Amino acid sequence: MYKRLNELNFVIGLFFTVVSLILLIDNFFAKGSPGNLNLYTGLTFLIFGLFMIAIKTNRNAE
Amino acid sequence: MKLTLADYLVILLYFAFVIAVGFIIKKKIRSSNDFLSSNRSIPLWITSLAFISANLGAQEVLGMVASGAKYGIMTVHFYWVGAIFAMVFVGLFMMPFYYGSRARSVPEYLKLRFDEKTRGLNAISFAVMTVFSSGISLYALAKLLEVILKWDFDISIWLAAGIVMVYTFLGGLTSAVYNEVLQFFLIVLGLSPLVIVALHDAGGWENVKAQLQPQFTHAWKYMGHTDTNPMGLHFMSLIFGLGFAMSFGYWCTDFLVVQRAMIAKNMKDAQLTPIVAALPKMLMPLIVVLPGVIAIALMTPALQSKGYSIPVNEMGGTDYTMTLPSLIAHYYPSGLLGVGITALIASFMSGMAGNVTAFNSVFTYDIYQSYFVKRRSDRHYLRVGKFITVAGILFSIGTAYIARSFNNINDFLQLVFSFVNGPLFATFLLGMFWKRTTGHGAFCGLLAGTAAAALTHGLTVAEGKGGWIANVYEIRSGMGQAFIVAAVSWIVNFVTTILVSLATKPKPEEELKGLVYSLTKKPSLGTTRWYLNPVTLGVVLLLVTILLNIIFF
């Protein structure tokens, strides 16, 4: 995993995954958030983050 | 606006990540080339997103939302007239010279094509402009955080500048570019929920259109006369002033953006960089113009029950600059509020880092190495590059405090920048496509164009600005005045360069190979797929842009 830190898509994916977790945990504890905006955004960020992490790039190219 | 723990966690996480990127890249920095020009090794998807992100600074994000609220859908002209055509042009016709000449910067290209004095003039004016732009960006960030979060002005300045300094000092241009891509995704994904929720709250696009005057929802229909549209512009001023002089002057000659394409791995990627970047640029109005239009609709009588309004300024007028922060405060709950604030901070830091990395390349290569200390070891120039990065940040901090002390300095500097940038495209156009253009012609043309810009501004008045020589001609909007100043300066530069060139001796053709269109072998694109062919992709993008203009006519 440490080597994958050299891949920008992995770093971006990791960032959005952690942000999504913050949003989802906040949504869980802060009941009554208007329109569950944190929930939907958190799930979208999670999908995007995991997608970016899953992409394999040619390390030599980067 | 009050932040909670979740909001602070998102902001701190962002700061930690951008600094971590600096540390990761640091291991790859071994030479001045790595530090200042990324050793031409960056993949296409990164150069493309960095190309657009370098232009996605705070002035762009906050300013375009504000313009959306003030002028309505006409603001899309800055994208569909003032960007896409120039981005495709620079990719297809100018990158072969920038990249193929092996120049490390735009001023260095001017040295190769013309002479030392033309390079010097461009390098010095560019270095001064970038450091002031960076300082203004920093000032605007600290001011915004002071107003909306009540954060201390000094702490905001030093914290933001310190973080940018750490990651640009450690990883140079590559670090700035990598963070620009992170910032791009943060801005787009961080502001997208706002557009969706605000549009939904306003009853959808059809209801927004129904609430607003038709002048606010049509891009071209009311541009036949200056009195019938919110910008106070005639369509011909827009097409020549914005669509040609200003747009091509910025996208084709400003090293801040061109540098992102010059670090691509090969010629084809360098050409594709601005063209691929044009795709997200085309869609950017959804993120930065639409919220402003929705904000105005939300303030109409039918939607007043939604409880949103744009704040007023000290004079009692609508403070359009606060449109985006006020929308974020109105719609975002805790957690997402942190994402929105972080997106704003990212846009400021992206603008600042872009300016600082362009400044240190130009200063090191085109001023220090060219005029002060020649032929030293690469290690020496690497150290100088790092020192200049720190100096650039410190200059920016100084500029931020100057901007705080003098309210009008921002307007003044933006004006001076337009005097310098406006005529520049004429120099490049003639230099690249007319082999007879001489160094003396280019230098005199630049000086004459800049003087013509200042003179035009001094003789025209718009919204109380200009006319510092005499009030000869009144223009309805400041924007219209800016377009006319750019157009006049371009024409004066173009004509002066031609006249002086005809009267002076040109360089031998042998020295112009790879620098002028008619003397350069056209780059072979090989057997690439259509969607990776710069010409095909460029044509498709232009057709889609024309279609968008027709749809929102």
Which of B21, B186, B333 lies closest to A11 in CB terms?
B21
| CB-CB neighbors (< 8 A) of B333 in chain A | 30, 33-34, 37-38
> Any idea which residue has 């006249």 for tokens?
B499
**Beta-carbon separation of B185 and A12 below 8 A:** yes
In a structure prediction context, what are the per-residue pLDDT tens digits for chain B, which is 553 residues long? 788 999 999 999 999 999 999 999 998 899 998 999 888 889 999 999 999 998 888 778 888 999 999 999 999 999 999 999 999 999 999 999 999 888 999 999 999 999 999 999 999 999 988 988 888 888 888 888 888 888 999 999 999 999 999 999 999 999 999 999 999 999 999 999 999 999 999 999 999 999 999 999 999 999 898 888 888 888 988 898 888 888 998 899 999 899 999 999 999 999 999 999 999 999 999 999 999 999 999 999 999 889 999 998 888 888 888 899 999 999 999 899 999 999 989 888 888 899 999 999 999 999 999 999 998 999 999 999 999 999 999 999 998 888 887 656 656 666 777 787 778 899 999 999 999 999 999 999 999 999 999 999 999 998 788 888 999 888 877 778 888 888 899 999 999 999 999 999 999 999 999 899 888 887 776 667 777 889 999 999 999 999 999 999 9
B10 touches chain A (CB under 8 A): yes
Which residue on chain A is closest to B335 by alpha carbon?
Answer: A23
Instruction: Report the amino acid identity of residue B179.
Output: N
The answer to whether B43 faces chain A, any CB pair under 8 Å, is yes
Residue B332 DSSP label: P
Q: Do B193 and A8 touch (CB under 8 A)?
A: no
Q: Which of A42, A62, B190 is nearest to A9 (CA)?
A: A62
Helix (H, G, I), strand (E, B) or coil at B462: strand
Q: Which residues of A touch B43 (CB under 8 A)?
A: 57, 61-62
Per CB-CB distance under 8 Å, the chain A contacts of B331 are: 37
| Paired sense of beta strands B473-475 and B465-466, if any | unpaired
**What is the pLDDT, as a whole number, of residue B350?**
83
- Cβ distance A15 to B182 less than 8 Å, yes or no, reads yes
Residue type, B339: V
Let me know: does B314 contact B324? Beta carbons within 8 Å.
no
Task: Tell me how close the Cα of A9 comes to any Cα of chain B, in angstroms.
Answer: 9
Q: Do B335 and A38 touch (CB under 8 A)?
A: yes
CA angle B228, B327, B330 (to 5 degrees): 135
Domain map of chain A by residue range?
3-54
Distance CA B108, CA B512 (A): 14
The owner of tokens 């002086």 is: B500
**Strand pairing category for B460-462 and B473-475:** parallel
Of B4, B185, B197, the CB nearest to A37: B197
CB–CB contact B333 A38 (8 Å):
yes
pLDDT category of residue A31 using cuts at 50, 70 and 90: low
Mean per-residue pLDDT, A18-45: 86
**b/e sequence B173-184, b meaning 16+ C-beta within 10 Å:** bbbbbbbbbbbb
B339–A40: do the CB atoms touch at under 8 Å? no
Other Cβ atoms closer than 10 A to B226 = 16
> What single string gives the DSSP state of each residue in B40-82?
G-B-HHHHHHHHHHTT-SHHHHHHHHHHHHHHGGGGGHHHHTT
Q: Per the CB < 8 Å rule, is B336 touching A23?
A: yes
The answer to whether the beta carbons of residues B195 and B201 sit under 8 Å apart is no
CA distance B382 to B100: 24
d(C-alpha B293, C-alpha B274), whole Å: 28
Which chain A positions have a beta carbon within 8 Å of B21's beta carbon?
A: 11
Verify whether the Cβ–Cβ distance A44 to B333 is below 8 Å: no
Q: Tell me what pLDDT residue B524 has.
A: 72
Taking CB atoms and an 8 Å limit, are A27 and B339 in contact across chains? no
Cβ contact, residue pair B333, A62, below 8 Å: no
Q: Give the count of Cβ contacts less than 8 A between chain A and B.
A: 76
Q: How confident is the model at residue A28 (pLDDT cuts 50, 70, 90)?
A: confident
pLDDT at A35: 63
C-beta separation of B28 from B42 below 8 A: no
The pLDDT of residue B458: 92
Q: Which of B409, B353, B46 is nearest to B169 (CA)?
A: B353
Which one of A23, A35, A61 has the shortest CB-CB distance to B335? A23
**Considering only CA atoms, which of B146, B179, B180, B245 is closest in space to residue B456?**
B245
Q: What span, in angstroms and rounded, lies between the C-alpha atoms of B34 and B19?
A: 18
Residues of A in contact with B339 (CB under 8 A): 19, 23, 41
What integer pLDDT is reported at residue B313 of this predicted model?
82
For residue A62, is pLDDT > 50?
no
**Which is nearest to B19 in space by CA: B188, B164, B195, B128?**
B164
Q: How far is A8 from chain B (nearest CA, A)?
A: 7
DSSP run (H or E) holding B475: strand B473-475
Report the alpha-carbon distance of residue B222 to residue B114 in Å, rounded. 44
Query: How far is the CA of B55 from the CAs of A58, B50, B347, B353, B402, in angstroms?
Result: 28, 9, 9, 11, 24
Give residues with Cβ within 8 angstroms of B312, minimum separation 6.
B318, B319
pLDDT of residue A32: 58
Question: Residue A27 and residue A42: Cα distance in Å, rounded?
Answer: 9
Closest-CA distance of chain A to residue B329, Å: 13
What ipTM describes this predicted complex?
0.91
* Facing A8 at nearest CB: one of B178, B332, B333: B178
Residue B411: per-residue pLDDT: 64
3-state class of B203 per DSSP? coil
Task: Determine contact: B46 vs chain A, CB below 8 A.
Answer: yes
Task: Say whether A35 and B197 touch across the interface (CB within 8 A).
Answer: yes
Report which of B311, B314, B237, B190 is spatially closest to residue B481, judged by C-alpha positions. B237
Sheet of strand B473-475: strand arrangement: B465-466, B460-462, B473-475
CB contact under 8 A, B336 and A5: no
What pLDDT does residue B132 have? 86
pLDDT reported for residue B137: 84
Beta bridge partners of B460: B473
What crossing angle do the helices spanning B336-361 and B378-405 adopt, rounded to 10°? 120
Q: Hey, what are B530's tokens?
A: 């259509």
* B14–chain A Cβ distance below 8 A for any pair: yes
Which amino acid, one-letter code, is at B382? Answer: L
CA–CA separation, B538 and B532 (whole Å):
10
Domains and CATH numbers, chain B: 5-405+523-551 (1.20.1730.10), 414-522 (no CATH)
Q: Which residues of B touch A61 (CB under 8 A)?
A: 43, 265
Roughly how many angstroms between the first and final C-alpha of chain B, as a whole number? 38
Contact B181 A5 (CB under 8 A): no
Partner residue facing A6 (CB), from B17, B24, B333: B24
Q: Indicate yes or no: CB of B13 within 8 angstroms of CB of A12.
A: no
Its pTM stands at: 0.91
10-49 in chain A: CB under 8 A from chain B:
11-12, 14-16, 18-19, 22-23, 25-27, 30, 33-35, 37-38, 40-42, 44-45, 48
pLDDT of residue A61: 43
Predicted pLDDT at A60: 45
Provide CB contacts within 8 A for B488, sequence distance 6+.
B452, B453, B456
Q: Which residue of B has its CA nearest to A46?
A: B189
Q: Which helix (H) or strand (E) holds B461?
A: strand B460-462
pLDDT of residue B407: 58
Q: Which residue of A has its CA nearest to B185?
A: A12
What Rg, from alpha-carbon coordinates, does chain A have? 14
Q: Are B365 and B384 in contact (CB under 8 A)?
A: no
Chain-chain contact of B336 with A15 (C-beta, under 8 angstroms): no
Q: How far apart are CA B61 and CA B343, in angstroms?
A: 10
